Amino acid sequence: MKFQTATLFAVLPTTFAALPDVTAKPLPDGCSSYPAYNTDTGVAGPWNIQAFNTENIAIEGFTDTNIYSISIVNRKPTMRWGFITFPTRNDIAKTRIQCSDGSLQAYTDSELTDAGEPVNVQWLNLQLNPYPYDQSIMYKIDDGEPIKAFEHYIGDEKQDGVYLGGYDNSTAWGFKYEAVNAGSSGQDYYYVRLLGPNSADSSTGAPLQVNETRGFIKVAA
């Protein structure tokens, strides 16, 4: 077993780190499980969330950004929904996250003008896309699954911080490289989706997609 592990590492690129084998323990539902919880307002944060223990070490510690998808309604550009993403460089503007009314939220543009400019910044609820094979962190959707808070343990040792996950106590995420597109503010980025029991490609069985590596998402506070 040890020999096999060593052989595997020998063929991997040097920009790759192994995902630690952690046990995720769910924290109670509600915002009090998150850092910087204010008992008077019931709000935790704001803070950012960060890529942590990433296999792709080029993005280790990077904090969150977002993109949105555009649809044309009555010949006008409309913000259809959006996604929390991670950047390819860490020196660009980030998207603030908080927990309020029991839900994670992102502070971001919520609409487009007729000219397609993003406007009306507000706190928007974040949910997981309900499809198990594509559980990205989304805003402007109604029928998603809740994002949950977890502690990580390696053996008996509690790891620092609060981690994001979801159904079936999954806390590993896929980070998939995507080129610049219409809603991504001129930046290439990493799309994230929760990896769980049913996240593999249903036709090929591949656990990860092309240009996708694993990592955790931790509250940066």
Considering beta carbons, is residue 26 or 130 the nearer one to ligand NAG?
26
Positions in the binding site for ligand NAG (CB under 6 A): 25-26, 168-169, 177, 210-211
Q: In sequence order, what are the residues at sequence separation of 6 or more whose Cβ sits closer than 8 angstroms to the Cβ of residue 178?
A: 85, 184, 188, 189, 190, 191
CB of 209 vs ligand NAG, minimal distance in Å: 7
List b or e across 10-21, with b for residues whose CB sees 16 or more CB atoms inside 10 angstroms: eeeeeeebeeee
Write down the least CB distance from residue 23 to ligand NAG, Å. 8
By C-beta, is 38 or 169 nearer to ligand NAG? 169
Nearest approach in angstroms of CB 133 to ligand NAG is 16
Nearer to ligand NAG, 116 or 130 (CB): 130
Distance separating alpha carbons of residues 14 and 164, to the nearest angstrom? 27
The two most distant CA atoms of the chain are separated, in Å, by 62
Closer to ligand NAG by Cβ: residue 37 or 167: 167
Structure tokens at 185: 């503010």
Q: Which residues, 6 or more positions from 50, have their beta carbon under 8 angstroms from its beta carbon?
A: 61, 62, 63, 64, 217, 218, 219, 220
CB of 29 to ligand NAG, least distance (A): 13
Q: Which is nearer to ligand NAG, 117 or 168 (CB)?
A: 168
C-beta of 169: minimal distance to ligand NAG in Å? 4
